[in-house]
Amino acid sequence: MKILIANRGEIAIRIMRTCREMGLPTVAIYSDVDRNALHTRYADEAISIGPTKASESYLNIPNILDAAKRVKATAIHPGYGFLSENPDFGQAVEDAGIKFIGPKPKTMAIFGDKISARKAARKAGLLVLPGPDQPLAEDVHITELDKSLSYPVLVKAASGGGGKGIRLIRSEEELMDVVDLARKEAFAAFGDGTIYIEPLVQRARHIEVQILGDGKGKILTFGERECSIQRRHQKLIEEAPGPNLSDDEKNCIVGAARQLGETMKYRSLGTVEFLMDEDHQFYFIEVNPRIQVEHPVTEMITGVDLIQEQIQLAATGELTLDQSDITYNGAAIEARILAEDPDENFLPTTGEISYLKEPGGPGIRVDSSLYQGMRVSTDYDSLLAKVIAFGNDRKTAIRRLLRGLMEYQIGGLKTDLTFLTQVLESHPYQTGNINTTFLDEFLPEDQIPDESLARDAAIAAVLHIHNERTRAVEDNKNKSQWRQAAWHEQLKTK
Amino acid sequence: MADYRVNVGKRSYDVTIKDDVLLVNGAPHKIDMESLNANGLHILRQPTRNVETYLESNQNGIYDVQIEGNHLAAEVVFGHQKQDNKTISSVGKLFSPMPGIIVDIPVKSGDRVKKGDTILVQEAMKMQMKIRSSCSGSITRINTATGSQVEKGELLVTIKPDEDQGQEA
């Protein structure tokens, strides 16, 4: 099998690493701006697929298929984001006689539409958040739709997912304005203006379950992940196992995910996402039919390489593991390193990486796309790298992750590194007392560095200026000597 | 000799470098710094401690110092002198008009000078330029030395103007 990875950044490299271990040749694709990117160098072959604009490169199905045919790739891995959840892409790949390392296109179509996903989950017997399983019609009041709904509610894009295309409506007065805006946003982002309504679960936790299915009804589950530390519905810190959950609660949520997977005869890797309310009641929200950003925390506590199992399945059609092979050990936490400025409301940052030192040592995994000299632009996602820490228990994992983040040095670009440290050090996080509104209310404490560090920083800055000036003076002296010598030479010749 | 004031967060440090001695708030420190890659990475060497620092300067002359996982903003003020609000006016203060080298200082602290006297000679781009006194008075402080590299806008010399001609100068 020769695998083309239809993605970029850290996830492309992560997939190639497993391919290399399995002895499988890899092909990278790249847009103009990515021509020197790390993933193009890691792959055995790399091929240009178009201009920087994603719609003309990483989202361009004909170009990617053409590239796959040119290098004679026999399989395509879509990674996450870009075309990974696009059933047309999956279908086009299979129609071209190339293996698609992912779910069946018709499964992707069901889960790609969040309304049909809710229907499928309800049919499989899962508890789904109340609300109509139909698109929101024009000019309609929520109260007329469903008496069980009350404000605040969320309006979501049916073609959305991954936390994108979600808006909050707090009162009936806001309803029509927000609905209008949401419809336009959904159309702009996903080419589909269909929206639907879900109640907002206050102080909810986001818990999800990793599954792997053989497409014939056999489902393996790999336990749950806790992903409540989110900003604008984008996850920032994830962990496994879920803290402060009883065994019964874990069994209940994992069982629900298995039930859905079995009913759908789900193929490949997938994540079933749930919200847990304050009474620890779970509600299905959506399925991500692809590998997820936060998959490493599951790999750390199970010791299973999920990408390897996924490729193995695509190659043979059979799972190599049984449920009894999957055991859990310790705790793992992932922090996302983003090109975003926490001091400027998480606006994207750009720059050239002038210095880079990545963490290492016991229990630390770094999945990164960074290199010194890299120009970080706003063309794609702001995710630069992930640091994942493993510990025998949650407390150890937190300590280790903090140590890893301390070791991470990125020059030339502002990132969220300090902010991540502040969250991990906060009391609510340390005690596992978290929910999806945690970051809305989180105010990082003023950073008061050690007096000795502040003094060292002051000395370093002064010595830097002083050394620069001393050197400039020396240079000038040397220049004067040269000038004098030249003058003497001139006198001699006269 | 060079004097600096550095503001790090709410803390301030007066750093003086005289020959090979480094004074922080008047106390001597045995410390030197070596650039490792000419790209901002430095080792700050102390008798019992090696500290890795990564320095980046931004447009406003403020350094971002990465040190043990912390990002500290260090603002360096050149030629610092303790000033009270009474002397905040720029009368009697001579600033560097351009980046360059001070090649001559024909006066010393305590000298009486007249308006128009040459106080410093600066060289830049192979041109020498006289910096003249803007008032009559006495030299109270010289913040630079012959052979020093100075930046544009750096305070070089302070002159206490004679009482009778103060604001007119």
Grade residue B149 by pLDDT with cuts at 50, 70 and 90: confident
* Chain segment B20-33, per-residue pLDDT in tens: 789 999 999 999 99
Task: List, in sequence order, every beta strand (DSSP E) within chain B.
Answer: 2-8, 11-18, 21-24, 27-29, 32-35, 41-46, 49-57, 62-67, 70-78, 93-95, 100-104, 112-113, 118-124, 127-132, 137-142, 149-150, 155-161
Grade residue B169 by pLDDT with cuts at 50, 70 and 90: very low
Task: Kindly report the nearest CA distance between residue B102 and chain A, in angstroms.
Answer: 10
- Per-residue pLDDT, averaged over B125-131, amounts to 71
- The pTM score is 0.82
Q: Which residues, 6+ apart, have CB-to-CB distance to A142 below 8 Å?
A: A149, A151, A153, A172, A175, A197
pLDDT at residue number A273: 97
* Chain segment B42-79, per-residue pLDDT in tens: 999 998 999 999 998 876 678 999 998 888 999 988 76
Phi, psi of B20 (to 5 degrees): -105, 15
B90 vs B41, higher pLDDT: B41
Check B44 against A463: CB less than 8 A apart: yes
Check A460 against B55: CB less than 8 A apart: yes
> Does the ipTM exceed 0.85?
no
- Per-residue pLDDT, averaged over B130-154, amounts to 85
Check B11 against A409: CB less than 8 A apart: no
Q: Which residues on A lie below 8 Å from B2 (Cβ)?
A: 466, 469
- The residues of A annotated with a catalytic role in the active site are 290
**Mean pLDDT estimate for chain B:** 81
In the three-class reduction of DSSP (H, G, I as helix; E, B as strand; rest coil), residue B91 is classed as coil
Q: Which residues on A lie below 8 Å from B41 (Cβ)?
A: 355
| pLDDT above 90: residue B1 | no
Grade residue B86 by pLDDT with cuts at 50, 70 and 90: very low
The 3-state DSSP composition of chain A as helix, strand, coil percent (nearest 5) reads: 40, 25, 35
Best probe of the B interface among A416, A418, A465, by most B CBs < 10 A, is: A465
Q: Which residues on A lie below 8 Å from B50 (Cβ)?
A: none
Check B55 against A466: CB less than 8 A apart: no
Helix (H) or strand (E) holding A353: none
Distance CA A7, CA A76 (A): 10
Q: Tens of pLDDT along chain A (494 residues)?
A: 999 999 999 999 999 999 999 999 999 999 999 999 999 999 999 999 999 999 999 999 999 999 999 999 999 999 999 999 999 999 999 999 999 999 999 999 999 999 999 999 999 999 999 887 888 877 666 555 556 667 888 889 888 876 777 888 888 778 878 888 888 888 887 888 889 888 889 899 999 999 999 999 999 999 999 999 999 889 999 999 999 999 999 999 999 999 999 999 999 999 999 999 999 999 999 999 999 999 999 999 999 999 999 999 999 999 999 999 999 999 999 999 999 999 888 989 999 999 999 999 999 999 999 999 999 999 999 999 999 999 999 999 999 999 999 999 999 999 999 999 999 999 999 999 999 999 988 988 776 778 889 999 999 999 988 888 888 778 777 777 766 677 677 666 55
CB A329 within 8 A of CB A400: no
Best probe of the A interface among B10, B14, B15, by most A CBs < 10 A, is: B15
| pLDDT above 70: residue B125 | no
pLDDT at residue number A204: 95
- CB neighbour class for B145 (10 Å; exposed up to 12, middle 13-18, buried from 19): exposed
Reading phi first (left if > 0) and then psi (alpha if -120 to 50, else beta), residue B110 is in left
pLDDT at residue number B122: 83
Check B17 against A469: CB less than 8 A apart: no
Cα A431 to Cα A434, A439, A442, A445: the distances in Å are 8, 15, 15, 17
Grade residue B39 by pLDDT with cuts at 50, 70 and 90: confident
A421 vs B115, higher pLDDT: A421
Q: Which of A411, A448, A455 sits opposite B66 (nearest CB)?
A: A411
| B104 touches A at CB < 8 Å | no
Grade residue B82 by pLDDT with cuts at 50, 70 and 90: very low
- CB neighbour class for A101 (10 Å; exposed up to 12, middle 13-18, buried from 19): buried
The DSSP code sequence of A270-296 is: EEEEEEE-TT--EEEEEEE-S--TTHH
Task: Kindly report the nearest CA distance between residue A239 and chain B, in angstroms.
Answer: 22
